[in-house]
Chain A
């Protein structure tokens, strides 16, 4: 009697677990097939990519497709460009975001709410809405085809401010008051007391900014016509428009271009997924 009452729910929960796992496996398969197919195709000779029946794993993988694709595109140059642009944007954005987030979280002044609202409102403004005037501004400044043109406008992003403000709000006011009583100035309190405590938040902000900047295609596409200054996404698109039907090469180039962000994801999975989950929550 007692035994059946206990085993029944257990059997049922085992069944639900199996069903959930089955559905999850199906979903994972569905979402991963395109990526798997990209890698699989990148290892085939061009004349065999549409062979039927489908060959999921190539018989003799053509590893040489990868060095060939790397050389044809000349990836090194673009990786360096992307690293320069992304590094500068991340550094500028995170430091200014930390300053602004601290100012908005730890001080009260007239008009603070309005200022915060204005800054956060820029998050609703997509680049696509202002790309025309922003392009004309770059033209006026002589920043077309330049690194600063790819760096400075992109560093103007309020996402980091939001995240840093959120962190500094959680920092007890007593801590800052104590530092001030000990005679530390406003800047010293920020640099010596608050920044060292903020590094997890700074890291998260840096990872998210790094990821979105590295991934950005539209802005470099609009202002860079000199290919020696192109970033990785731009180089991939240039290669695609030149080699539209060389699919193994295209897939190899795509896979190489996907590597840095994939590595970043596996290194900082917690921050990236957590970042998406919380920055979606702007309100």
Chain B
């Protein structure tokens, strides 16, 4: 901090204050220039460095070692962990499961969420009540979701009762490989759809009503107005929903852990569950970190792709 700035900061006097104001005017009333901004930011920055940046760097380092929870010594083994990942059938399987799980969950949540948001955006009575009711699955604690759905997917549970009532054969959901993943998809979509819905709703409400009025005057029908006004103006919202939903489903392993335990025979083991199992049950911290870094890369890459795809014209 130089003397000039100290003088300005200490300045209760008319002259420095005056100068600050004129300078601010010239720049269109910007904020004050001062290192005090850093001082204010420092406590939170300290926490983030200690518990976000440092663990991140630590994870990158661990992924290059053979660290094990039960052994003291850690050897630097270079890219060995990364070289092993593609040859590990458990990891490749987890990657494929994550692909299915995330793609299906997001497709369901995004389509259903948009549909519900469009309905709630109509001027109908009691729509506030409907919004509240449909949002409730997102309020249920995350740990309750797998417990509740495990019960619903019980061989004698409500889902099979529903299947039987429409003449379909009941399935042993959690004990068959495709059934377990489908069960995870449905349980996750149940909680994710309401969240997507309210994000869409916020996006829809930011579209000016005059545009629709103008569309009506020009003789555009409902479908035309949806395609030419709603969809293009909702593009930034789509981006938000996709990024939000991908991050949430890729990282989440509570559902798989409690509902299926990753089974049967690791058929529903997602990438994040693989990281947990390798690190905390198999104690292979180095190898788990390499898988975790791959997981982060996937999230970052998909976020970037979405930013590209949905980038607005301006």
Taking Cβ atoms with an 8 Å cutoff, the residues of A that contact B are 16-17, 20-21, 23-25, 27-28, 31-35, 37-38, 41, 50, 52, 54, 96-97, 99-100, 102-109, 112, 115, 118-119, 122, 124-137, 152-153, 155-156, 158, 161, 173-174, 176-177, 180-183, 186, 190, 214-218, 222, 232-233, 236-237, 240, 247, 250-251, 254, 257-258, 261-262, 265, 269, 272-274, 276-278, 280-283
Contact = CB atoms under 8 A, between A and B. Distances in A.
Contacts, number: 304
Interface in B156-186: 156-158, 161
A1 B279 CA distance: 77
A76 B253 CA distance: 27
Contact of A106 (B31, B45, B51): B31
Interface stretch (B76-84, B120-128, B207-215): B120-128
Given A17-B122, A33-B158, A277-B201, 4 more contacts: A128-B275, A133-B62, A137-B58, A180-B17
B197 to A, nearest CB: 9
Nearest to A279: B244
A107 B251 contact: no
B97 interface: no
Interface string B248-273: 00111110001000000000000010
B272 A128 contact: yes
B216 to A, nearest CB: 11
A214 to B, nearest CB: 8
B292 interface: yes
Contacts of B75: none
A124 B53 contact: no
A237 B126 CA distance: 37
A177 B27 CA distance: 14
A115 B45 contact: yes
Contact of A131 (B12, B36, B279): B279
15 contacts: A24-B120, A28-B130, A28-B133, A54-B161, A100-B45, A103-B37, A105-B31, A132-B288, A158-B52, A186-B34, A215-B143, A216-B142, A217-B143, A233-B142, A274-B202
Nearest to A51: B156
A126 B247 contact: yes
Nearest to B30: A108
- Give the top 7 A-B pairs by smallest Cβ distance, nearest first: A107-B37, A103-B40, A126-B251, A133-B58, A277-B202, A183-B12, A156-B47
Contacts of A173: 24, 29-32
Contacts of B132: 269
A20 B124 contact: yes
Contact of A161 (B44, B134, B139, B247): B44
A280 B272 contact: no
A132 to B, nearest CB: 4
Nearest to A40: B158
Contact of B43 (A99, A104, A115, A177): A99
Contact of B37 (A108, A129, A132, A181): A108
Nearest to A33: B158
A25 to B, nearest CB: 8
A161 B276 CA distance: 29
Given A20-B122, A50-B156, A103 B296 contact: no
A24 B41 contact: no
Contacts of B303: 124
B134 A122 contact: no
Contacts of B296: 125-126, 129
A136 B199 contact: no
Contact of A104 (B41, B54, B127, B275): B41
A248 B51 CA distance: 40
B143 A128 contact: no
A16 B156 CA distance: 39
